[in-house]
Structure 1
């Protein structure tokens, strides 16, 4: 069994939307195809991966460092004892000559290839990835039914409160029970009006989460925390800089509701520091580490082990990113759910065609690998790269 090629290409996922910190007018991502010499149904097995929105394409690092290391590695050194492609050994090969620390954009490049490798491994075994993960690391069965929430509520040019309400009603009409909107890109007074407009549009049992994207300093973060007490959101996400653990801990001491953070922490070391020093409460708060941004599933497994050692349940993890890789991890390893982008960052966001959201949950179809082939618009882009 061999990796015979690794291909990458940068794709635009640009949009006129913005959050509290950035706009998405020039947003890109990297798509990777890992081509193997294994043949199924007369065609080589190809695994696919891409990085999450919010970080840009990683083409330079992929071409200059990580892909060459992988292709130059001893092919037998990438296999496990049974002669099957081993994602952990692939990960080790990519990280040769990388110093500790520096968990920035390189974690995104490695995570993108890692996703493609896991997709290939599950396809070679002719199993859905979630089931392979449950067999290797979970309870042996997994649960294909996963909680998802609808991430939206960005600041759109010209969008008034009525249009914001219609956007949120569109999500709940499709079966979502939790929706999310951005805060911090306007004044507190305007954000309060936006929050109240969304709450007015929700039905009993439906919840609103809010996300500041790390925008606030101490005074503003605490002012929003005080204001949010009135609204009891599903969570108050990333109020301050993601590495400001002291601020995170102070907010946790002064805010009675649930907090969420972690999407911009890219290693087990950073995740451990959050748990140690960020004042996160394992009975109440949520962790949003995203494997596609943080060295992939190989590193995410280490993060889950670390969390258990610190008294956290995997059920408190709801990854950022809205991609099917995290959906498979949630189903296979018992996470609390996954983010979803019903209308944004297409064709890379969303679920396989025909997958319906029911009462806030989706059921993953029984497709080999991550299941990208079940989403026609996405697979058309992938196949163009992987089968050229």
Structure 2
């Protein structure tokens, strides 16, 4: 079977090509990919090429397919898996594999497996690790966004707190505590806000910082303080570029400090401010992944000793985190749509990936079964004056608080004759 896919040959060398897939083996599964959201991790892969720890060293002659935040339907099932997987079933993918100590991962390491493709082959280790998960939701994009949401959820579950009576760690963010999400108006930060409002260890307060008023205004429009208050959480958006930002952030907690701090930007001053704002027994999660393997910042070890502050970092989520993300999205308890600001087709993937840091907004969602320029949701109205498709998409998004939604996805599928 032929597939069209974006393949990486080296540093910033991504090419959309058509080529033949081999026949699947008895322990493999052929899938049709419908949607893939572009992750900053894929940009980091493209920037590093062979230097990336998950990339094979022969990509110049055996290129890999990029993309890992993907979803679709099963087309063909190898004999080994016929009792577990069925043709036509929808799927979501947990790409953070750790199979027999190897870091190989879909979208980073495989010649025939990645989300930026019309069709691809799931290798046996994906199924061995139960990483090809069933999905019964309404829209494919929600399953694609399940992967980044699982990373957010994993971060919440990984945080921990201690006590002075024993050495037990209480896992998760502190119930009724103060959460600080630094650099939190990007797609992952908004996912963290959406999840924090409904996490079982519900906080008393979530403070979200950014230095861009426009981003803060958009964030407040898609997850409003009023909505958070209706769920029992005080939500505050705060511009941290002001002169006395640190003092004002501390004052928001009445001097208590923050029980849980999530750092969503790899910026030394931000990490150091987060450390200074920790409360007694506060936990800081350095969530942002730097590209510099020598990235460092100073931490206060006096506080680590006397006030039990502690720091960790998380990347990715596990299968349970992804299942939780999918289930919560299906129930409407979290809204991954807050992440998406742009939509495009397969032909937009390579250029978008290589220029991702310079494209404003949140998640760039691409549908792999057709070509379409990457387009901002905010531009739908103007484009709709001359193009009926964008007029319909604009109407749909405006009916959903300006957000991408299942109805809009169906409009695209009908326009491009996508068969599921």
TM-score exceeds 0.5: no
Determine which structure has the larger strand proportion and give its number. Answer: 2
**What TM-score, normalized by structure 2, do the two folds share?**
0.33
Determine which structure has the larger helix proportion and give its number. Answer: 1
**What TM-score, normalized by structure 1, do the two folds share?**
0.35
